[in-house]
Amino acid sequence: MNNSGKVYITGTSTFLPNAPVGNDEIENILGMVGGKPSRARRIVLRNNGIRQRYYAIDPATGQATHTNAALTAEAVRRLGDIGPIDCLATGTSRPDQLMPNHGVMVHGELGISACEVVSTAGICVSGLTALKYAYLAVLAGDAQNAVATGSELASAGLHARNFEAELEHRIAELETNPEIAFEKDFLRWMLSDGAAAFNLRNQPAASGLSLRIEWIDILSQAGQMDVCMYAGGEKLADGSLKGWQAFPSAEWAGRSIFSVKQDVRLLNDNVAYQTIGKMLEKVTLSRRLTPAAVDWFLPHMSSEYFRQPMADCMQALGFAVPQEKWFTNLQSKGNTGSASIFIMIDELLRSGRLTNGDRLLCFIPESGRFTGSLMYLTAVDHAG
């Protein structure tokens, strides 16, 4: 049993591969679809506010430098000597393979002794669901030393070579517009690579600040909302999703079935209220949470474009948090999906800006079929 009844994040680490990539360098690394520069790139980059990001791609050869499992394993190693791991929980949007699961591949990369391993599927919230599993394992006393990770290897699917077959297949349709469809193209300038890891225990670290996990709440709206962001399928006119196994294998490349796509109109119309709005409606009642109980607000945003709609939604619900309390590193670290909240927390914790007693509200949305999640943390010194 966990006699303390509490769980702490006692260590954090981040691994971002290779050198940072500026906006003017992206197409040199990801390549040009059809040999022509994207017309969407500048528009998307102007709106999303990202100035640099990281890719697990060798810029000289265009070849991958890391697998997703390798990125994640390196983040775990950077936690340092934490002793034998009882529970390893991993979350990612795009594992390296369909089977076996991402977690056991990370376990294999690490080469550590036997332990419980779980991998959670999804998109941006998958990192938090992995963290919640590790949290609950420690809370229940099933694990004394747990590690949770979030990681993304987006670049492997964003390289221009992945879209050449579709371009050739649809040449007649696209001859006046030699770009892939916007719902695919705009994501090429939004997503990037990275991994991070947290160490969880039932006591705070012996020195420095730890983060006590007060609660983690996750709320899916899939019962009322259509698919918005997806991969491995095609969205049909009636809103249903046709999965990859329903297509002949000969069509997988020609239709870019495995590329990441997004229904941009559905996203813009719904993402704020369906994610942050409905979550705040829930926790203000169930958790009695108030804006006064938030010292730091850490929102995972895919784009700066969503900052104001998010703030407006919070204001309308009576939960306005002043912008000076917001912390995000989107501009410098990029949108790393399920790893983003881990990378944000790691940077803030290392910045020296947190003090004992600070309360952090972390928000992670997912547009797959609209899921919102909130995590509430308290910074504590070694005395707990």
Type of residue found at 63 = Q
Q: Directed axis angle between helix 340-350 and helix 126-140, to 10°?
A: 70
In degrees to the nearest 10, what's the CA dihedral of 314, 315, 320, 321?
60
Lowest mean pLDDT among 168-172, 218-222, 225-229, 330-334: 168-172
Tokens for 212? Answer: 């006590």
Cis amide leading into 100 (omega within 30): yes
Residue 39's pLDDT is 78
Same domain for 107 and 58?
Answer: yes
Q: Does residue 3 lie in a domain region?
A: no
Question: Span 250-273, mean pLDDT?
Answer: 91
Q: Structure tokens of 15?
A: 């691994």
Whether residue 241 is contained in a domain is answered as no
Q: Are residues 112 and 70 in the same domain?
A: yes
For the chain, give the mean pLDDT.
93
Tokens matching residue 123? 């998109």
Number of folded domains that form the chain: 2
User: Residue range 156-167: average pLDDT?
Assistant: 74
At residue 32, the pLDDT reads: 86
Q: What percent of the chain has pLDDT over 70?
A: 94
Same domain, 16 and 164: yes
Helix (H, G, I), strand (E, B) or coil at 273: helix
Residue 76 tokens read as 């775990």
Peptide bond into 365 cis (omega under 30): no
On whether the CB atoms of residues 97 and 68 are closer than 8 A, the answer is no
Examine the domain organization and report whether 306 and 331 are in the same domain: yes
Residues 99 and 125 in one domain: yes
Longest dimension (CA), the chain: 68
Measured distance CA(63)–CA(301) in Å, rounded? 29
Q: Do 107 and 137 fall within a single domain? A: yes
Q: What pLDDT shows up at residue 180? A: 47
Please write the tens of the pLDDT for every residue from 223-250. 999 999 999 999 999 999 999 999 999 9
Q: What are phi and psi of 177, to 5 degrees?
A: -145, 85
Are the CB atoms for 213 and 138 separated by under 8 Å?
A: no
CA nearest to 122, candidates 231, 259, 271, 196: 231
Question: Is 99 within the bounds of a domain?
Answer: yes
In a domain, 246, yes or no: no
Domain C-terminal end among 142, 177, 208: 208
Is 158 found in the same domain as 217? no
Number of H-type helices and E-type strands within the chain: 15, 15
Asked whether the beta carbons of 301 and 310 are under 8 A apart, the reply is: yes
Does residue 233 form part of some domain? no
pLDDT at 117 over 60: yes
Q: Say if pTM beats, i.e. exceeds, 0.85.
A: yes
In the predicted model, is pLDDT for residue 341 greater than 50?
yes
Q: Which two tokens stand for residue 360?
A: 């952090």
Residues 112 and 44 in one domain: yes
CA 62, CA 335: separation in Å to the nearest integer? 21
CB atoms within 10 A of CB 307: 16
Residues 6+ apart with CB under 8 A from 210: 8, 9, 10, 204, 379, 380, 381, 382, 384
As given in the structure block, the two tokens for residue 7 are 């769980």
Per the listing, tokens 């002043």 go with: 322
Range of the domain at 152: 8-208
Task: Give the pLDDT confidence score for residue 182 in this predicted structure.
Answer: 53
On whether residue 35 sits in a domain, the answer given is yes
Residue 31: name the closest of 188, 187, 153 by CA. Answer: 188
Does 34 reside within a domain?
Answer: yes
Check pLDDT > 50 for residue 205: yes
**Same domain for 199 and 100:** yes
Same domain, 368 and 308: yes
The pairing of strands 359-366 and 296-299 is: parallel
Q: Are residues 42 and 189 in the same domain?
A: yes
Q: pLDDT tens-digit profile of 61-115? A: 999 999 999 999 999 999 999 999 999 999 999 999 999 999 999 999 999 999 9
Angle, CA of 124, 69 and 346, to the nearest 5°: 55
The answer to whether residue 237 sits within a structural domain is: no
- The domain that contains 280 carries what CATH number? 3.40.47.10
In angstroms, what CA-CA distances link 169 with 254, 256, 365?
A: 5, 10, 35
| Cα distance from N-terminal residue to C-terminal residue, the chain | 19
pLDDT in tens, 15-67: 999 999 999 999 999 988 778 888 788 888 999 999 999 999 999 999 999 99
- For residue 138 the two structure tokens come to 């420690």
Q: Work out whether strand 194-201 and strand 146-152 pair parallel, antiparallel, or are unpaired.
A: antiparallel
Taking residues 161-182, report their average pLDDT.
53
Q: For residue 166, is pLDDT > 70?
A: no
